[in-house]
Every structure is written in structure tokens, then in C-alpha cells.
Amino acid sequence: MNKSLYLFLSLALVAMTASAALAGNPDRQGEAGAPELLMNPWARSAGLHTMSTSMVTGVESMMLNIAGLARINKTEVVLGHTIYLKGTDISINALGLSQKIGKNSAIGISLMSLDFGDIPRTTTFQPEGTGGTFSPRYMNFGIGFSHIFENKVSVGVLGRAVSESIEDVSATAVCMDAGVQYVTGERDNFKFGISLRNIGGRMQFKGEGLSEEIAIPDFDGEHGIVANQRATTFELQSVLNIGLSYDFYVAGDSRITTVGNYTSNAFSEDQIGGGLEFSFKELVMLRAAYKLDLGQLSSSDNTVNADPLYTGISAGVTLNVPVSKKENAPRIAFDYAYLTTKIYDGTHNLSVRISL
């Protein structure tokens, strides 16, 4: 146990050091790209406003804290669908699989894509539209590994490939996540987690769409040449999460969990928040959370435009059904989450989970 504790403390020290480098900086807002890396397609953790850093497990850990990947029974498959900012016709589809390897390790893969629908195509000379449409393709693919040391400390690492493209322009990058979780208490009541996400290379758009034909006058008239424009590179949405939770058991197997989380964003305001989850014998779960941008606490601008996109409130519900009465029987879970937004009609998350 001492080795596990030393490992946990070492990773915590590294994360605290990284926090200084990633401290929220609203002056840099808009300088980073690939915002889909911060969009959570999984309903269970979305119901807690993606603040379950300390307690997230299985497939959903690949979006928040990869250290929780190994905390499953054997196999977990999750399908997710998100209606992002209802009214914009943007949706997110996701598929994840986690598989135990041996007693204390697990690997997982996740695939996530955004559907923007059909966007009318316009040009400089046809600003009202050409009659055609196009649809951007945003995708990312991750593969992760997690290991539990003596059932108390778990660590994990994940590599992710990110792709954004339209017909004639595309950008790709590779990034990494790392995380740690610590569990202790008589019934593993207390949990603490740290994750560092989206650390990697810069992205740059390239392709024929950045080429332009230019007419060059000379003595014989005009000659056309093709000039290639070079797009500016941009960084990914790096973020550090530090979270804790505590389980209170009531009436036997029912549980009330309190959650707290601090998020340090490299390209926007830092965030802090908390939530509650009630579980009735792990069959029905209700959850709610509130997240606040720290800049709101010190800002003197009380206008609506000063508020972030999400107003801070989220809620969710889970129905977790065993397929038989046997102990540790496979389960099928249906998760739903709703996040309130300043504009449009909120974000809705739906997930189906199969646990073996």
C-alpha cells in the first residue's frame, strides 16, 4: 500500500504543478481549437456536469479521468447520443468499449463524432446560397489503459486522434490524457481524482480549399497562378480536473454521494462546482449538479452576455436493470441528462450501457 500511496502523491504533485501552467486565462479564449474535446457524449457523467472526476468508471472515464477505466467487473459497452444545444440541429454520437485484462487492468476504445446536419453552401458572389449543402466532419478516436494498485490507487493513460474536415480542407492532431484515482474508507466511501486532458500537438488546416488562383499581369497579358495559403496553427483544449466525492449509505444499500470538482482551463475561466447523486440499491439513480465559472464571482458585468453558455444547472437519471436475479448478473442501463443553457433549449444526453 505504501508504494501505491507514494505513486498517488507523486502524480498529485505533478498535477498541482500542471495546474499553475494551465491556470484559467479568459484573455486566451478563442485561441484554442477542437472544442468537441470538451463535449461529453455520456449521459451518466453529464448529469453531474462532467464533474465526477473522482468516481467515474468504465467507458465514461475516457472522457473525464482515464484512471477509472479499470473499475469495472469484466466488460462494458456504451452507446451515446446527444442533442447539442437543441435547435441548432447539432448532434453527437459515441461508442465506447472497455474490457478487463487480468484482475487489475483494463483497456478501452472510444469513438465520437459530431453531426452538423446540412449547411447551405454560400460564396462571395452568392451570399444567399448556391443551392448546395455541406457538412463538416468532426471525429476523435481514443484508446486507453488503466491499472489498479492494491484496489486503492488506479492510474491510466489514453491516446486520442482528432480529425476535423470538410471536402477540401482538413486538420488532424494527436493528444494524450492521464489520470489517477484514490479510493479509501470502510466501504470505499471516499474518492479523490485528478486528470490532465488533451495534452498534445497543435492542429493546422491544410488542403485544396486554401488554394486560390491569382491573375498576374505581364508583358503578354495576364497569367494565372495558384497560391497556397498557410493557415495558422492552433492548440487543443487542455484542461485539468481535480475532484472528490463521498458516499453516505442509508437504509442498507441506498447511497447518497456528494461530489465536488475544480476545473482549470488553459483557454478560458476556471470552474468550480458540486453535485449530489442518490442511488436506490444501484437500480435507480437521480443526480443533479451546479457548475460556476470563477470569473463570474469577481466580474462586475452583470449583463446576460457576460454569462457562459451553460447556466450551471444539470440533472440526470439512470435506470440500471439486471438481466437476472443472480449475483453480479449482467446489467442494462438507460441514462439521461439535461444541461440548461443561456441560449437555445439546452443539451440532452442519452446513453445505453451494457455491463457484463
- List pLDDT tens digits, range 168-192: 899 999 999 999 999 999 889 999 9
Q: Looking at per-residue confidence, does 345 or 251 come out higher?
A: 345
Ordered by start, the domain boundaries in the chain are 2-204+233-355
- Specify whether the CB–CB gap between 96 and 56 falls below 8 A: no
Strand partners, 157: 145, 178
Task: Tell me the three state secondary structure of residue 18.
Answer: helix
Find the Cα–Cα–Cα–Cα dihedral 276, 277, 278, 282, rounded to 10°.
Answer: -160
pLDDT surpassing 80 at residue 15: no
12 pLDDT band, cuts 50/70/90, is low
pLDDT in tens, 89-104: 999 999 999 999 999 9
Which of 41, 26, 30 minimizes the C-alpha distance to 339?
41
pLDDT over 90 for what percent of the chain? 59
Strand partners, 290: 274, 313
129 pLDDT band, cuts 50/70/90, is confident
55 φ, ψ (degrees, to nearest 5): -125, -5
| Straight-line distance from the first to the last Cα atom of the chain, in angstroms, rounded to the nearest whole number | 29
C-alpha angle 45/48/54, rounded to 5°?
70
Among the listed ranges 13-17, 26-30, 218-222, 227-231, which one has the minimum average pLDDT value? 13-17
Which of 169, 179, 171 minimizes the C-alpha distance to 199?
179
The CA distance from 11 to 179, in Å, is 8
- Specify whether the CB–CB gap between 328 and 73 falls below 8 A: yes
Task: Tell me the three state secondary structure of residue 33.
Answer: coil
pLDDT surpassing 80 at residue 218: no
Output the pTM of the full model.
0.87
The CA distance from 22 to 38, in Å, is 15
Label residue 77 exposed, middle or buried (CB < 10 Å: 0-12, 13-18, 19+).
middle
Place of cell 472515464: 61
Q: Looking at per-residue confidence, does 44 or 26 come out higher?
A: 44
Strand partners, 334: 319, 352
pLDDT in tens, 134-165: 889 999 999 999 999 877 899 999 999 999 99
- Specify whether the CB–CB gap between 304 and 280 falls below 8 A: no
pLDDT surpassing 70 at residue 240: yes
pLDDT surpassing 80 at residue 11: no
Place of cell 450551471: 312
pLDDT for the residue 167: 86
pLDDT surpassing 80 at residue 266: yes
> Residue 118's CB: how many other CB atoms inside 10 A?
10
Per-residue pLDDT, averaged over 12-34, amounts to 60
1 pLDDT band, cuts 50/70/90, is very low
Which of 340, 333, 337, 348 minimizes the C-alpha distance to 79?
333
Cell (9 digits) for 61:
472515464
Which of 8, 25, 11 minimizes the C-alpha distance to 239?
25
pLDDT for the residue 306: 54
Place of cell 449583463: 303
- Domain 2-204+233-355 sits in CATH 2.40.160.60: yes
Among the listed ranges 61-75, 189-203, 227-241, which one has the minimum average pLDDT value? 227-241
Per-residue pLDDT, averaged over 112-117, amounts to 94
Per-residue pLDDT, averaged over 100-114, amounts to 95
27 pLDDT band, cuts 50/70/90, is low
Strand partners, 250: 254
Q: What is the DSSP string of 128-193?
A: T--S-EE--EEEEEEEEEEEEETTTEEEEEEEEEEEEE-SS-EEEEEEEEEEEEEEESTTS-EEEE
The H or E element containing residue 5 is: helix 2-21
Q: Looking at per-residue confidence, does 252 or 34 come out higher?
A: 34
201 pLDDT band, cuts 50/70/90, is confident
Mean of the per-residue pLDDT values of the chain: 87
Among the listed ranges 16-25, 115-124, 205-214, 270-279, which one has the minimum average pLDDT value? 16-25
pLDDT for the residue 6: 52
